[in-house]
A and B are shown apart, each in its own frame.
Chain A
Amino acid sequence: MTKVEHLNTSHPTAWKWYDYFTFNVDHKVIGIQYLVTAFVFYLIGGLMAIAIRAELATPDADLLDPNLYNAFMTNHGTIMIFLWIVPSAIGGFGNYLVPLMLGARDMAFPRLNAIAFWLNPPAGLLVLGSFLFGGSQSGWTAYPPLSLVTAHVAQTMWILAIVLVGSSSILGSVNFVVTILMMKVPSMKWDQVPLFCWAILATSILALLSTPVLAAGLVLLLFDLNFGTSFFKPEAGGNVVLYQHLFWFYSHPAVYLMILPIFGIMSEVIPVHARKPIFGYKAIAYSSVAICVVGLFVWVHHMFTSGTPGWMRMFFTISTLIVAVPTGVKIFGWVATLWGGKIRFTSAMLFAVGLLSMFVMGGLSGVTMGTAPFDVHVHDTYYVVAHFHYVLFGGSVFGIYAGIYHWFPKMTGRKLNETWGRVHFALTLIGTNLTFLPMHELGLQGMPRRVAMYDPQFIDLNVICTIGSLILGLSVIPFMINILQSWHHGELAGDNPWQALTLEWTTSSPPMIENWEVLPVVTHGPYDYGHDNGMNLHSSVTEEARA
C-alpha cells in the first residue's frame, strides 16, 4: 500500500466496500459490480426455473396460473441471458481481466464503462417491476402478434429493459475493441495476447454488428404496442416474419456472445491447471473469428418452420452446419491440451473439464437440429430445450463457475475452499444431466416446449427433470457458503496461487488501483508451461517452499 502512495494520483489507495455501490470508473470495481449483480439475477432466474419445473412435475396446470407460468418462463430466459450470462461473462470477467491481461491500467474509456454498467440495474428493475403488471408472457423471443396482445404494460417494460442492456452491451463493446487493439503493453506481441482477450475482441465485434438490429426490431415492436404503428400487425399489412428475422439476426449471434467469452475462460483455465501450453494458439484464436463471421449468417435455423421458403431453409442448414467446424477445432484443441499434462484437479479445472464434456453433448445435438429435415420434427420441442441448456448451462454457466474458482483469489486475495468446490461441482454435474438429458427424449417423443400443461404420457421423464432441477437448486448453496466464507476467511492466495503465466498474476491480489506500480515487461508467451524459462523455475521454487 505504501508504494501505491508514490503514484501521483487523486484517488484513494484502496476502495472501501461502499465504493462498490457507486459510479466508480475502476475497471476492477466495475467487473465485480457486474459479477455480483449478475449473480443476484442468476438466483432470481433460478428460482423461476424451479417454479417452472415444479409446475411441470404434474401434467396439469395446478401450481401456477398459466399466464404466470408464461411470465416465469419468459423472464427466466430473459434474466439468464441478458442479466446473468452476458453481463457476467463479458461485463464481469471482461472488464476485470482484459486490462490486467494486456498490461493496461484501465479500460480505454473508464467513464463509458461505468455508464455501461449502470444501465444494467434499471434494466433489471424494469424486468422485475413488470411482474406488477403481469410480467411479459410472450417468451424471450417476444414474437408478435402474441407480444402485441398480452400484458401490454409488462411487454413495454420488457422491451425497454432489453434496449437498456443492448445499449450497455454496445457501449461495453466499443470499449473492449479500443482497449484490446490500442492498449496492450508495448512489449506484448500480438501472438502473446491471451486467448481470453481474443475471445472478448471477437465477441465485441459481433455485438457491435448485431445488437443494433435487435434494437431496431424491438423499437418497431414498441411503436406497434404504444404508438399505433403496424409494422408487425398482419391485419394492417404488417409482416410478423420480418420481426423474426430482425430478432434472430441478433439473437443467434447472442448465443455466441454467451459462449465465446466462456471459450476464452476455458483457454485460460485449462493450460494453467493442466500445466501445458494451449494446443494450437492460432487455431483457437482464429476459430473465434470464424465462429463470429459464420455466426452472422445462420439465424434462419430458428425459423425452419416459419414463413420461410425451401431454398432459404437449405442455405441456412448448410451455413449452420459449418459452425460445427471452428467449434470442433476449439474442443479438440482443449482436449489435446490435456494430453501430456500434469492435470491438477482444482475446482476451476473440474468445472472446465465438466464444460468440455457437457458442451460436446450440446454441440452434437446442435448439429442434428441445424438440419432442416430433422428440425421440422424437433423445432420448438423439449429437444431444443435440452440442447440449449447443455450449451448454455453445461457450457456457459460451468465456464463462469470455472472462471470464478480460477480468478476469485486474484479478485479477493483469498482462495475458495476446494472441498466445498468439489461438492458444488458434483451436485452441479449430476443436476445438469438429470435435468436436461431426459428432455431430449421428451422432445423427440412429442412434447412441445413453453407449455404449462402436457400429455400425461410424458409424466415420468418430467418428474426426473424436476428432481434434477432441485439438485441444481441445491448445488448453489455450497457455492454461496464458499464465497461468503472465503471472501474474508479463505486461505491467503498470494500474487500467483496457480503459478500462471498471464499478466494478471504479476500484480498483487487483489490488484492495486491502476494495477501495477511499474508496468510489467512481457518476456514469454501466456501459455509457456513446461518451457525452461525463469518464470517456471521461479514458480516451482515457490511451490516447493510452500509444501
Chain B
Amino acid sequence: MQKVPVSLWTLLAGMLIAAISLWISHNHTLLPVAASQQAPLVDRFFNIMFTIAIALFIVVEGTILIFLVKYRRRQGDNTDGVPVEGNIALEIFWTAIPTIIVIALGIYSVDIYNQMGGLEPAAHLHSPVAHVVSSSTLAAEELKSTTAPSYGFNGSPQNQSKPADVVVDVQGMQFAWLFNYPDSGVSAGELHIPVGADVQLNLSATDVIHSFWVPQFRLKQDAIPGISTKLRFVATKPGTYPIVCTELCGGYHGSMRSEVVVQTPEEYQSWLTENQLAQKQHQVVAINPANLSPSEFLAPYVHAMGIGDSEF
C-alpha cells in the first residue's frame, strides 16, 4: 500500500520536471535572433543542454532543499544521524548517468561542430591539385588559402569544396575593424554581405589579438597577428547586427564595435558599385593628399561615411 504511491510520486515528479525543463528550454528568450546558417545548429544544441541542465538543477537543488528540511536537527536532539557510509549501487548509478550524458554530448558536439564547418575535411587538402587542371586562376586562389594553415570555420560541409561567393579580408586594429573586398577593391568600416550567399571572412590583426563576433550568427573567431584565421558562413536574415570585439585589446576594447549589414543581393550590389565608384575617384585624387585642402581631401569619403551630398 505504501510502496505504490512512492514510486507513483517519483514518476509524476520525473514527468513534471521533464515537462518544466522542456518548456523553459524551448520558450526562453535568452538568445538573440538567429541570423546565420550555423545559428540554429548552435541554438538547438544549447536548448538540449539547457533542458538537461534545468532538469539536473531542479533534481539536485530540490533534493538539497528537501534534505535540509527533512533532516534538520530538532530542538534538544543531540544524537547523530544514521551511520550510512556509502552505497555502491547508488554510487555506480550517479557515476554512470553523468558519464552517459557527457559522452552523448561529446559525440553530439562533434556532429554539430562538423555541420557548422568547424572541422577541416581531409579531402580538402587535395583540392588544389584537382583545380590546377580545370582553372589556373582558381587553383592559385585555392592554393593561397590552403597552403598556410588557417584556423576557424570552413563553411558547411557541402560548400567546402567550392570557393566562397563573397570573400572579405577583415583586419582588426586598435580599436576598429576594416573590411576589404579583394574582388572589387572596396574598403569599408562596416561589413556588407548579401543574404543567402556563402561568405568567407579572412581574419587578420595588425597590432594585438582581436576577436570577431556577431552574436546573431553565433560565430566567433580570433584575429591573431601572424596567424591567419577565417570564418565561413551564410547569413540567413537581412538586417543590421553588431560586430563585437571579444578579445581584450586595450583601453577602448569595449568601443571596438562595428556592424554587419545583411542585404538582399540587389541592395548589396548597388552598395558595392557605389563604393567602387567613390573609391576609384579617391584613388585618382589621392596621389598627393598633402596638396589638397581638407574639403577636397574629404570629398571622396562622402559616400563611405554615409553623408548626403546636400549636407556637405
Contact = CB atoms under 8 A, between A and B. Distances in A.
Interface string B210-225: 0101011011111011
B24 to A, nearest CB: 13
Contact of A374 (B30, B42, B73, B247): B42
A69 B251 CA distance: 8
Interface stretch (A14-22, A273-281, A503-511): A273-281
Contact of B118 (A278, A318, A373): A373
A441 B248 CA distance: 20
Contacts of A281: 85-86
A536 B252 CA distance: 62
Interface string A226-264: 000000001100111100000000000000000000000
Interface stretch (B93-101, B164-172, B264-272, B285-293): B93-101
Nearest to B114: A310
A293 interface: no
Contacts of B242: 446, 455
A306 B151 CA distance: 8
B68 A343 contact: yes
Contact of B30 (A275, A310, A445): A445
Interface string B78-106: 11111111110011001100110011011
Contacts of A367: 49, 53, 102, 105
A276 to B, nearest CB: 4
A65 to B, nearest CB: 8
Contacts of B31: 444-445
A529 B32 contact: no
Given A145-B209, A341-B71, A325 B79 contact: no
B112 interface: yes
Given A146-B249, A376-B218, A455 B257 contact: yes
Interface string B249-263: 111111101000000
Contacts of A489: none
A274 B81 contact: yes
Interface string A85-98: 00000000000000
Interface string A443-486: 01110111111110000000000000000000000000000000
B244 A446 contact: yes
A404 interface: no
Interface residues of A, number: 102
A283 to B, nearest CB: 5
A372 B106 CA distance: 10
A155 interface: no
Given A342-B79, A364-B57, A317 B106 contact: yes
B72 A343 contact: yes
A381 B246 CA distance: 7
B86 A283 contact: yes
Interface stretch (A41-49, A354-362, A426-434): A354-362
A350 to B, nearest CB: 10
A339 B72 CA distance: 10
B113 A368 contact: no
B37 interface: no
B42 A360 contact: no
Contact of B248 (A70, A335, A540): A70
- For chain B, give the interface size range: 35 or more
A528 interface: yes
B225 A235 contact: yes
Contacts of B195: none
A342 B77 contact: yes
B91 A283 contact: yes
A474 B140 CA distance: 64
B277 interface: no
A396 interface: no
B254 A451 contact: yes
Interface in B218-243: 218-222, 224-227, 229, 242
Contact of A340 (B41, B81, B119, B120): B81
Interface stretch (B2-10, B59-67, B125-133): B59-67
Contacts of B113: 310, 313-314, 317, 372-373
Contacts of A61: 254-255
A343 B246 contact: no
Contacts of A419: none
B53 A368 contact: yes
A311 interface: yes
Nearest to B99: A325
A390 B242 CA distance: 28
Interface string B190-221: 00000000000000000111010101101111
A364 B120 CA distance: 30
Nearest to A377: B218
A66 interface: yes
A373 B116 contact: yes
A530 interface: yes
Interface stretch (A135-143, A172-180, A195-203, A405-413): A135-143
Contacts of B106: 317-318, 321, 371
Interface string B28-68: 00111000000001100110011001001100110110011
Contacts of A149: 207-208
Residue from the set A137, A139, A441, A444 with the largest chain B CB neighbour count within 10 Å: A444
Contacts of B57: 360-361, 364
B254 to A, nearest CB: 3
A309 B120 contact: yes
A451 B72 CA distance: 45
A133 interface: no
Residue from the set A371, A455, A528 with the largest chain B CB neighbour count within 10 Å: A371
A322 interface: yes
A305 B249 CA distance: 15
Nearest to B212: A305
B15 interface: no
A329 B225 contact: no
B253 A275 contact: no
B226 A317 contact: no
Contact of A239 (B112, B209, B226): B226
Contacts of A70: 248, 250-251, 253
A332 B94 CA distance: 7
Nearest to B92: A283
Given A331-B60, A446-B213, 18 more contacts: A137-B250, A239-B226, A274-B71, A275-B81, A276-B82, A313-B118, A332-B94, A338-B67, A343-B73, A357-B61, A371-B109, A374-B45, A376-B116, A379-B246, A527-B85, A530-B79, A536-B80, A540-B79
11 contacts: A146-B248, A240-B209, A276-B82, A280-B91, A333-B91, A364-B57, A371-B105, A376-B218, A450-B254, A452-B252, A453-B255
Interface of A: 61, 65-67, 69-70, 137-139, 141, 143, 145-146, 149-150, 234-235, 238-241, 274-283, 305-311, 313-314, 317-318, 321-322, 324-325, 328-329, 331-333, 335-336, 338-345, 353, 356-357, 360-361, 364-365, 367-368, 371-374, 376-377, 379-381, 440-441, 444-446, 448-455, 527-531, 536, 540, 543-544, 547
